[in-house]
Amino acid sequence: MSDLPSPASSAPPARPASPVPPVPPEASAPAPRRWIRWAAVILAAAGWWISVDLLRLSLGVDATNPLIAAKCGPTGEGDCLSVLRSHRARVFSSAGRSGDPTRATGMPWAALGMAYFALAGVWYAFVGPPTFDRRWWHVPIACVVLIGATVSLDLTQVMAFQLRRICQGCLATHVINLLLALLTLAAFPWRRPVRPAFNPHPSRSLALASMLAALLMAYLQVSYATLGMQAQTIGVTQRKLNDIINDADYARLDFFREPAHEIPLREDEPFVGDPTAPNTVVVFSDFECPTCRTLHERIRQVVARHPSRLRVAIRHFPLDSRCNPSQTRVSHPAACRAAGAAEAARIVGGGALLEKLRGVLYERQNDLELEEFDDWAAALGADRAAFAAARGSPAVADRVREDCELGGRLKVTSVPAVFLNGRRLEYWHNDKTWDALLGVEPAATQPASNP
């Protein structure tokens, strides 16, 4: 009996339980979504680049993309520029219907396109398609992209049926936008996955940080476009101002609107030009002023152009409160000493040495603080000891102070200041202005000769 097997020993051995396989991370993000994500990033980058070039073209700047430049540039075959300069190419445009892009107002659609594609690109680069349980994080970007697609369809029909012109670059952005909308719809997790998400995506912190980064990037694009528009406005204004400056008739009219002043001349005045000329120019200048250097060269040209019609007297007006009582601060710290050096040259060598040193002071404008005036004067033939003594003499300081006080009485506040026959001349840049004004006899209030 003891050899009979027991019931327990006759039962088959129990099989070990098979382990449950872990849920792979890929279960929450199917393979197609990866290419959707990066395809969306590439499309957004392409749309942004084209939008940048369209904005540049609308502002009168060349495109960076050679294909866009060939199709939409000034030598392009299409109608891009006419579309971009239309009032329909701007949001809330209230002007520019005449075809003049400089009078159009509102934000260009190309600028908003830059912001839109930058926002979408940042979102897809950092977030991309969500898992099913985080699907609501995809709703904001889906709404933005679908609104953008609607705008693209509307602008396309505007080009086709209202403007009757097609901008190839604009059409490219609209096609890219529609493809981005399709990818956005495909990226939404419409069905619950068979297996639950192993790693839900995106996390709240990632989604919020990406949303903030996308909005900041969009803001930067709009700011860039705004600066570009302001630069265009400034450029247009500058061109109009240059047209005014170069208009001799306007300069002549503006000149005779100025009141005539009595400007005394010294008996030992070292004129530039013919001392007996019928027209007298008095210039208030500063050796550290770059525009004064330009005026110095212009005066030489005008005197050479009208050798018997013009004489020029140079007055000192350093923008330095230490020698100019009309100034409240030190703007040009070497200007007073440079003016004293010029007056010392006059004392030592007369008008000839003064004119030579004046040219050197302007040429070496950036080195005035080195105070190498004695060396410069000696190189021009002046006696070094006599020049150094003259520089420190009270007569030099008094002469500079008298010039500054005269400028203060004439209400000179900036340099250079030019007075022709006692009247302030603002537009001295153009030869035609001088030609027109120097044919006029001196004003009655301006002395024709030295008192």
Question: What is the percent of the chain where pLDDT is above 70?
Answer: 85
- Its domain, for residue 47, covers 29-245
Same domain, 163 and 302: no
* Residue after which a domain boundary falls, among 213, 245, 277: 245
| CA 157 distance to own-chain centroid | 35
Q: Which residue has the higher pLDDT, 243 or 418?
A: 418
**Residue 21 — pLDDT band, cuts 50, 70, 90?**
low
pLDDT tens track for 272-313: 999 999 999 999 999 999 999 999 999 999 999 998 999 999
Round to whole Å and give the CA distance between 279 and 256: 15
Angle (CA) 8 14 20, round 5°: 155
Residue 313 resides in a domain: yes
Q: Which pLDDT score is estimated for 82?
A: 84
Residue range 401-417: average pLDDT? 95
Q: Report yes or no on 449 lying in a domain.
A: no
Identify the pLDDT of residue 22. Answer: 54
Rounded average pLDDT over 39-59? 93
Q: What is the predicted pLDDT for the residue at 196?
A: 63
pLDDT tens-place string over residues 71-104? 787 665 567 888 888 888 888 765 444 445 445 5
Better-scored residue on pLDDT, 191 or 300: 300
Compute the mean pLDDT over every residue in the chain, rounded to the nearest whole number.
Answer: 86
Domain presence at residue 13? no
pLDDT band of 14, cuts 50, 70, 90: low
Q: Which stretch of DSSP H or E encloses residue 209?
A: helix 204-245
Residues 280 and 186 in one domain: no
DSSP 107-169: EEHHHHHHHHHHHHHHHHHHT-SPPGGGGGGHHHHHHHHHHHHHHHHHHHHIIIIII----HH
pLDDT of residue 16: 54
pLDDT confidence of residue 280: 96
Residue 261 has pLDDT above 70, yes or no: yes
pLDDT of residue 28: 41
105 shares its domain with 209: yes
In this prediction, residue 290 carries a pLDDT of 95
In the chain, the number of structural domains is: 2
Across 62-66, 139-143, 185-189, least confident range = 62-66
Task: Give yes or no: residues 77 and 209 share one domain.
Answer: yes
In whole angstroms, what is the distance from residue 205 CA to residue 215 CA? Answer: 15
Asked if 108 and 55 count as a contact pair (C-beta separation under 8 A), the reply is yes
Would you give the distance in Å from CA 335 to the centre of its chain? 31
The conformation of residue 443, written as its DSSP 8-state character, comes to P
Tell me which residue has tokens 């208009």: 247
Do the strands 279-285 and 310-316 form a parallel or antiparallel pair, or are they unpaired? Answer: parallel
Q: Is 214 exposed, middle or buried (0-12, 13-18, 19+ CB in 10 A)?
A: buried
Q: Are residues 411 and 283 in the same domain?
A: yes
Domain containing 281 — which CATH number? 3.40.30.10
CA 95 vs CA 55, 106, 165, 236: distances in Å = 18, 9, 20, 16
